């Protein structure tokens, strides 16, 4: 067994290889832009060179003269599209800035023209020959720019419902024996999935097929239909494989309906492959944030007062925010809490989800502050977390369904060798390298959403699972196949899974780490429907049916228990009794506490996620602890992170192999958010400067010599039938704080602004 396939512990499935492994290593896995089209024309985007102002006119003579150009679409001749509201306001869109609608420019890099040509090369050349005259206005780029407006998130973003508070923060902070006030900044970041933001559209009569990497095919289908003003049943989104999402493909971007409408107008399939730099402005990103944390504690380390104020940048028209105070105000026991999230509007494209949207910036602030408080208290930072560990969240007093935070700290500390740390800053060195150890907590809400699935079982055990889920690299095919095989009692190799197609039964957005919990709960339920039918055929009396019901675990129990069927089903006997060759069942599952309109919303492309702090009488989170070793060169100030160790507990682990890989990638993402990633903004022009993969630094192989993932066994019977908490967004939270805490330990210098580069290290 390789390191990639950890031995399963209690409440873990088998670490089987990925369902899609062979397709992915042979090049047979087809991503959106790999799909064959019949005689396509090629689209190339022209984007705005100013961030604010108006287009006075185009000179297209040169561009139209390029051999092979078919059409050039600008706001002057673009097909009219209906508006879609922001996803958080009941729509589908990730931005309400609709390009090609008017001469107005709302942000740098906005789409202002689409060139269509016979070849990619001709479209590109013509796009470069499009001449634009503008009347520019001075844009506001970010926090420090004149002309921004700031207002509380509550009241302007429908999904931000409260600024959590409890007790009397002001009084408690005033009276606290030990106090800390500190400010923290996180930068703009772009997802940069490896697959570009491509879109291909082909019409067959009135029916549209869209090939586009999406984390939500039902949302995209319904959103594009709304913009085109056609029946959603005429739109099909297909993407059996997605080349990374990280949140960037969760909501609809304007490009899709534009390409679809041009394809309709020209009566020809159109393929758009935008450039990497265009991806920085035609999709979403993680906005920069800034925070003030105030902590008050007793000498014993017990938190008495906590206040977290956060500010986030958004675009002029859209009040997007991540609002991570919902998590940071509930992580530790504290009787007096206050918080405020504000949105700062600038002349930017609308930001959106990026892997662990609220937790990455907000836990950076809190977990850095906890380390600073530990220093003030002269206390081990792990012990400070232990003292403030809790079984109930402090805002509403609701119990955590399960919480293995300290178990994670203890396991990870042991594996890391935390006891070898000498507490004083600058006290550990290895030659020219100052050595620092740091740690931080991580957590991520357990979320679920309604999901449907169709399962077909044949007499010979062959099984087909159909669900419009998404394989963005998480292992979705694999865990769905494992769940169906386990639940039906058929060999894994007999299970075929079909996903990434909006003609299949709806699954929720592949975001918020809800996919495994939601889709596997639905698969379990529908497999149970099949088993029930077969059992009833063999044992038709009511009591036996009830017995069967009990045996197959139709109620909401974790699959480990339910799978322990005391009598394996004799498929051939059951099929003979039923007198059929195939049994097929369709079902719709929804989580406890899902709103009444959940299923209608599910079919309409709106994912109603429930979970986290928003559950009725409980709160559900996955937890982890991360330890890092940082080395800072005494002379060059080069910063290295040779060791990352994380321990995680996330309910049932369906596949330890895919889980470990995702957490490992998450740890590396976390390191990257601390030391590498930032989109630099030219303040004068509100423009992203380093919009390519050479200048926007992401980790390469040489950056990550040592990563260790420890999976803790945890069982939680209070979340969903699959018993799954979700972990795709767990490991990259807190790592940024752990690294800054380790840099403090190595150098004695506290750095509160990310990313940390060698120029930020003082002598």
Partner 1 sequence: MSDNSSSRSSGFDRRAFMAGAAGTALVPMTARAAAQDARAPGAQDPALPVDVTLRVNGKDKRLHIDARTTVLDALREHLKLTGSKKGCDHGQCGACTVLIDDRRVVSCLTLALAAEGLEITTIEGLATDDHLHPMQQAFVDNDAFQCGYCTPGQIMSAVACVKEGHAGSEADIREYMSGNICRCAAYPNIVAAVKQAAPEIMKG
Q: Where does residue 550 rank: exposed (0-12), middle (13-18), buried (19+ CB within 10 A)?
A: exposed
C-alpha span between 496 and 480 (Å, rounded) = 10
Residue carrying structure tokens 């017990």: 302
Are the CB atoms for 4 and 17 separated by under 8 Å? Answer: no
Stretch that binds partner 1, among 141-149, 379-387, 528-536, 695-703 (CB under 8 A): 695-703
| Nearer CB in complex with partner 1: 125/311 | 125
CB of 720 to partner 1, least distance (A): 23
Percent helix / strand / coil, the chain, rounded to 5:
30, 25, 45
CB of 699 to partner 1, least distance (A): 6
CB of 241 to partner 1, least distance (A): 6
Q: Which residues pair with 454 in a beta bridge?
A: 466, 586
R_g of the chain, CA atoms, integer Å: 27
Stretch that binds partner 1, among 23-31, 82-90, 394-402, 566-574 (CB under 8 A): 23-31
Are the CB atoms for 558 and 717 separated by under 8 Å? Answer: yes
Site string (219-238) toward partner 1, x via CB under 8 A: --------------------
**Which DSSP helix (H) or strand (E) runs through 346?**
strand 336-346
Are the CB atoms for 429 and 423 separated by under 8 Å? Answer: no
**264 belongs to the binding site for partner 1 (CB under 8 A):** no
Supply 25's token pair.
């290593």
Q: In this chain, which of 19, 31, 362, 589 binds partner 1, going by CB under 8 A? A: 31
How many other CB atoms sit within 10 Å of the CB of residue 477? 26
**243 belongs to the binding site for partner 1 (CB under 8 A):** yes
Q: Given phi > 0 = left and psi -120 to 50 = alpha, else beta, which region is 447? A: beta
Supply 70's token pair.
């078919």
3-state secondary structure 373-424: HHHHHCCCHHHHHHHCCCCECCCCCCEECCCCHHHHHHHHHHHHCHHHCCCC
CB of 20 to partner 1, least distance (A): 7
| Nearer CB in complex with partner 1: 39/424 | 39
| Nearer CB in complex with partner 1: 213/721 | 213
Considering only residues 475-514, where is the footprint of partner 1 by CB under 8 A? 475
729 classed as catalytic: yes
How many Cα atoms within 13 Å fall on the side-chain side of residue 590? 16
**281 belongs to the binding site for partner 1 (CB under 8 A):** no
CB of 235 to partner 1, least distance (A): 22
Site string (442-471) toward partner 1, x via CB under 8 A: -----------------------------x
Q: In this chain, which of 503, 698, 715, 760 binds partner 1, going by CB under 8 A? A: 698
Considering only residues 40-69, where is the footprint of partner 1 by CB under 8 A? 41, 64-69
Considering only residues 381-440, where is the footprint of partner 1 by CB under 8 A? none
| Nearer CB in complex with partner 1: 213/219 | 213
How many other CB atoms sit within 10 Å of the CB of residue 362? 31
Cα-to-chain-centroid distance, residue 629: 26
Site string (112-131) toward partner 1, x via CB under 8 A: ------xxxxx--x------
Stretch that binds partner 1, among 20-28, 496-504, 530-538, 553-561 (CB under 8 A): 20-28
CB of 419 to partner 1, least distance (A): 25
Nearest to 732 by CA among 761, 751, 709, 760: 709
Stretch that binds partner 1, among 177-185, 333-341, 473-481, 583-591 (CB under 8 A): 473-481
Supply 322's token pair.
């991540």
Q: In this chain, which of 8, 14, 49, 71 binds partner 1, going by CB under 8 A? A: 71
Q: In this chain, which of 28, 101, 573, 684 binds partner 1, going by CB under 8 A? A: 28
Considering only residues 314-333, where is the footprint of partner 1 by CB under 8 A? none
Torsion of CA 240, 242, 247, 251, to 10 degrees: -50
SS3 609: coil
| Nearer CB in complex with partner 1: 65/595 | 65
C-alpha span between 603 and 182 (Å, rounded) = 46
CB of 364 to partner 1, least distance (A): 19
Q: Where does residue 300 rank: exposed (0-12), middle (13-18), buried (19+ CB within 10 A)?
A: exposed
Site string (703-742) toward partner 1, x via CB under 8 A: xxxxx-----------------------------------
Return all residues near 214 (Cβ < 8 A) that are at least 6 apart: 220, 237, 239, 242, 249, 470
Stretch that binds partner 1, among 28-36, 169-177, 486-494, 680-688 (CB under 8 A): 28-36
Stretch that binds partner 1, among 269-277, 498-506, 541-549, 747-755 (CB under 8 A): 269-277
Site string (165-204) toward partner 1, x via CB under 8 A: ---------------------------xxxxx--------
Q: In this chain, which of 378, 419, 420, 701 binds partner 1, going by CB under 8 A? A: 701
C-alpha span between 734 and 361 (Å, rounded) = 9
Nearest to 729 by CA among 655, 677, 628, 659: 659
Q: Which residues pair with 464 in a beta bridge?
A: 456, 496
Stretch that binds partner 1, among 216-224, 346-354, 667-675, 717-725 (CB under 8 A): 667-675
Count interface residues toward partner 1 (CB under 8 A): 82
Q: In this chain, which of 60, 81, 115, 242 binds partner 1, going by CB under 8 A? A: 242
Are the CB atoms for 518 and 449 separated by under 8 Å? Answer: yes
Nearest to 11 by CA among 649, 663, 657, 709: 649
C-alpha span between 263 and 208 (Å, rounded) = 9
CB of 589 to partner 1, least distance (A): 26
**657 belongs to the binding site for partner 1 (CB under 8 A):** yes
Stretch that binds partner 1, among 144-152, 316-324, 661-669, 681-689 (CB under 8 A): 661-669
CB of 66 to partner 1, least distance (A): 8
Catalytic residue among 359, 411, 729, 759: 729
Q: In this chain, which of 391, 397, 431, 702 binds partner 1, going by CB under 8 A? A: 702
**658 belongs to the binding site for partner 1 (CB under 8 A):** yes
Q: In this chain, which of 74, 214, 661, 747 binds partner 1, going by CB under 8 A? A: 661
C-alpha span between 404 and 11 (Å, rounded) = 14
SS3 438: strand
Q: Provide the annotated active-site residues.
A: 729
């Amino acid at each position: 067994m390789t390191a990639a396939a950890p031995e399963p512990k209690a409440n873990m499935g088998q670490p089987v290889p990925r369902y899609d492994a062979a397709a992915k290593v042979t090049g047979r896995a087809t991503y959106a832009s790999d799909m064959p089209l019949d005689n396509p024309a090629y689209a190339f985007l022209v984007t705005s060179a100013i961030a604010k102002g108006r287009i006075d006119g185009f000179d297209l003579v040169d561009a139209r003269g390029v051999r092979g150009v078919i059409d050039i679409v600008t706001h002057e001749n673009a097909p009219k599209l209906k508006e879609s509201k922001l996803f958080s306001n009941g729509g589908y869109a990730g931005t309400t800035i609709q390009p090609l609608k008017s001469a107005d420019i709302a942000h740098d890099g906005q789409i202002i023209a689409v060139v269509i040509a016979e070849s990619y090369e001709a479209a590109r050349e013509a796009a470069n020959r499009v001449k634009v005259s503008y009347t520019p206005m001075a844009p506001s780029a970010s926090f420090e720019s004149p002309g921004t407006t700031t207002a509380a998130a509550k009241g302007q973003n429908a999904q931000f419902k409260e600024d959590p508070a409890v007790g009397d923060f002001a009084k408690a902070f005033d009276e606290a024996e030990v106090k800390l006030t500190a400010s923290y900044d996180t930068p703009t970041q772009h997802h940069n999935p490896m697959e570009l933001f491509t879109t291909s559209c082909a019409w067959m009569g009135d029916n549209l097929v869209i090939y586009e990497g999406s984390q939500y095919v039902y949302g995209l289908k319904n959103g594009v239909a709304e913009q085109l003003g056609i029946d959603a049943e005429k739109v099909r989104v297909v993407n059996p494989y997605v080349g990374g999402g990280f949140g960037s493909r969760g909501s609809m971007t304007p490009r899709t309906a534009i390409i679809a409408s041009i394809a309709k107008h020209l009566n020809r399939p159109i393929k758009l492959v935008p450039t990497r730099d265009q991806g920085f402005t035609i999709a979403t990103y993680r906005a920069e944030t800034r925070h003030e944390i105030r902590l008050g504690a007793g000498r014993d380390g017990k938190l008495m007062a906590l206040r977290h104020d956060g500010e986030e940048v958004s675009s002029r028209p859209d009040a997007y925010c991540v609002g991570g105070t919902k998590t940071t105000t509930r992580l530790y026991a504290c009787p007096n809490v206050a918080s405020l999230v504000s949105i700062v509007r600038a002349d930017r494209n609308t930001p959106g989800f990026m892997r662990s949207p609220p937790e990455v910036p907000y836990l950076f602030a809190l977990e850095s502050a906890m380390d600073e408080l530990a220093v003030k208290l002269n206390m081990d930072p792990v012990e400070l977390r232990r003292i403030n560990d809790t079984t109930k969240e402090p805002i509403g007093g609701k119990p955590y369904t399960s919480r293995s935070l300290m178990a994670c700290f203890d396991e990870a500390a042991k594996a890391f060798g935390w006891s070898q740390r000498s507490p004083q800053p600058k006290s550990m060195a290895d030659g020219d390298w100052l050595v620092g150890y740091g740690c931080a907590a991580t957590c991520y809400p357990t979320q679920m959403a309604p999901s449907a699935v169709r399962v077909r079982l044949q007499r010979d055990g062959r099984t087909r699972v159909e669900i419009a889920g998404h394989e963005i690299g998480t292992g979705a095919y694999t865990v769905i196949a494992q769940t169906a095989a386990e639940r039906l009692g058929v060999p894994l190799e007999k299970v075929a899974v079909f996903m990434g197609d909006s003609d299949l039964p709806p699954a929720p957005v592949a975001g918020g780490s809800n996919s495994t919990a939601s889709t596997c709960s639905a698969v379990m339920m529908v497999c149970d429907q099949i088993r029930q039918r077969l059992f009833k055929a063999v044992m038709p009396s009511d009591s036996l049916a009830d017995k069967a019901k009990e045996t197959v675990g139709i109620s909401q129990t974790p699959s480990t228990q339910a799978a322990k069927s005391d009598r394996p089903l004799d498929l051939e006997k059951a099929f003979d009794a039923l007198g059929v060759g195939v049994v097929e069942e369709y079902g719709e599952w929804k989580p406890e506490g899902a709103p009444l309109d959940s299923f209608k919303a599910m079919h309409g492309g709106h994912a109603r996620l429930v979970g986290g702090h928003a559950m009725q009488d409980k709160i559900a989170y996955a937890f982890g602890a991360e330890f890092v070793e940082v080395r800072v060169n005494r002379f060059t100030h080069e910063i290295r992170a040779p060791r990352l160790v994380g321990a995680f507990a996330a309910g049932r682990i369906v596949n330890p192999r895919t889980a470990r890989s995702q957490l490992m990638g998450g740890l590396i993402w976390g390191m990257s958010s601390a030391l590498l990633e930032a989109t630099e903004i030219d303040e004068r022009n509100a423009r992203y400067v380093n919009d390519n993969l050479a200048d926007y630094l992401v980790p390469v192989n040489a950056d990550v010599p040592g990563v260790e993932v420890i999976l803790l066994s945890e069982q939680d019977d209070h979340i969903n039938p699959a018993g799954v908490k979700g972990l795709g967004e767990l490991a990259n939270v807190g790592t940024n704080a752990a690294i800054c805490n380790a840099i403090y330990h190595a150098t004695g210098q506290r750095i509160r602004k990310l990313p940390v580069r060698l120029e930020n290290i003082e002598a």
